[in-house]
Amino acid sequence: MKKSVLVLLAISVICIAFAAIFVKLSGAPASIISMYRMFFASLLLAPVVYKYRRELLKLTAREWGALIIAGLFLAMHFGFWFESLHLTSVASSTVILALQPIIAMVGAYLVYREKVSARVAVSVFVSFLGVVLISWGDFSLTDLSAITGNFLSFLGAVAVVCYFMIGQNAVRSLKHWVYSFLVFSIAGVFLLTYNIITNTELFEYPPGEWLLFVLLAIFPTIAHVIFNYLLYEVSPTTVSMAMLLEPVGASILAFFILSETLGPLQLVGGVIVLGGVYIFLKSQGRGKHVKT
């Protein structure tokens, strides 16, 4: 695997680890946080996209349809996941979100008939074992709120894998900047529609909340733009596998910023995750990538 790809993966993981922290600090509804993240991110990308504006005129009806579906799945991902963070801990929510590689493997096989080697399968399940250890003490079978939050996080994982799989085809005809701008904007429109239908307050939020909205549009969005770009180089499974590192970073940040505990199991789990990711990336470097 190219060193430039590894560097981009590292930057994206660090940036996206802040997402759960910003959401946890916010008191706004999940659908509002998600909506402004999408719209502010679109505004940040607009100056760059203007350079490639002619690409918008070349899109076919089928491509627009794929973009709309991808935007819907992205809106669902953020809506489900952000709500889960209001109901359960950062560690529990992010560890369930880390199911993405397993879901991606199944999806890639069913849709693209992408074969999975034994080495890759072992690395995925070893890494997942690690993220389970990270938040073992945070799971609750008696707290209805936590159970609901865990389920919403799982739905968010399914939605983001669908988003990535659609993106694997969509980015073939679009610059990644344009693709990101379009799906962010479309996701924002879906969330705006939801907020209007549910009569959710759109504007009356204190300055601190608006700052969090902006931060969510900057840090994690950088990660997602990088992920979209990396779909040119690697498969959705590889991107999802790298995102397994998010629970490690988020748990560490939650310890320092939110005072959430980080015990021996979390530390051991983090080492296992890193080992699994290393095995996976090494195995990908020896094989052929699906160029998208």
Beta strands in the chain (DSSP E): none
Provide the pLDDT for residue 104: 79
Angle made by CA atoms 87, 89, 92, in degrees to the nearest 5 = 105
Question: Of 292 and 287, which is predicted with more confidence?
Answer: 287
Mean pLDDT over residues 232-240, rounded? 73
Q: Residue 10: what are its φ and ψ, rounded to 5°?
A: -65, -45
Provide the pLDDT for residue 43: 94
Domain ranges of the chain: 3-286
Task: Kindly report which listed range (38-47, 48-57, 116-125, 206-215) carries the lowest average pLDDT score.
Answer: 116-125
pLDDT at residue 112 greater than cutoff 90: no
pLDDT at residue 200 greater than cutoff 80: yes
What count of other Cβ atoms lies within 10 Å of the Cβ of residue 38? 27
Provide the pLDDT for residue 53: 87
What count of other Cβ atoms lies within 10 Å of the Cβ of residue 47? 9
Q: Can you tell me the distance from the alpha carbon of 217 to that of 167, in angstroms, rounded to the nearest whole number? A: 20
Percent of the chain with pLDDT over 90: 34
Q: Can you tell me the distance from the alpha carbon of 74 to that of 79, in angstroms, rounded to the nearest whole number? A: 9
Provide the pLDDT for residue 284: 64
Provide the pLDDT for residue 77: 95
Q: Can you tell me the distance from the alpha carbon of 85 to that of 219, in angstroms, rounded to the nearest whole number? A: 18
* pLDDT grade for 118, boundaries at 50, 70 and 90: confident
Closest alpha carbon to 5 in 180, 279, 235, 248: 235
Those residues whose C-beta lies under 8 Å from the C-beta of residue 216, and which sit 6 or more positions away, are 19, 22, 23, 33, 36, 37, 40
Provide the pLDDT for residue 159: 95
Local structure of residue 288 (DSSP, 8 states)? -
What count of other Cβ atoms lies within 10 Å of the Cβ of residue 229? 18
* pLDDT grade for 287, boundaries at 50, 70 and 90: very low
Element containing residue 68 per DSSP (H, E): helix 61-87
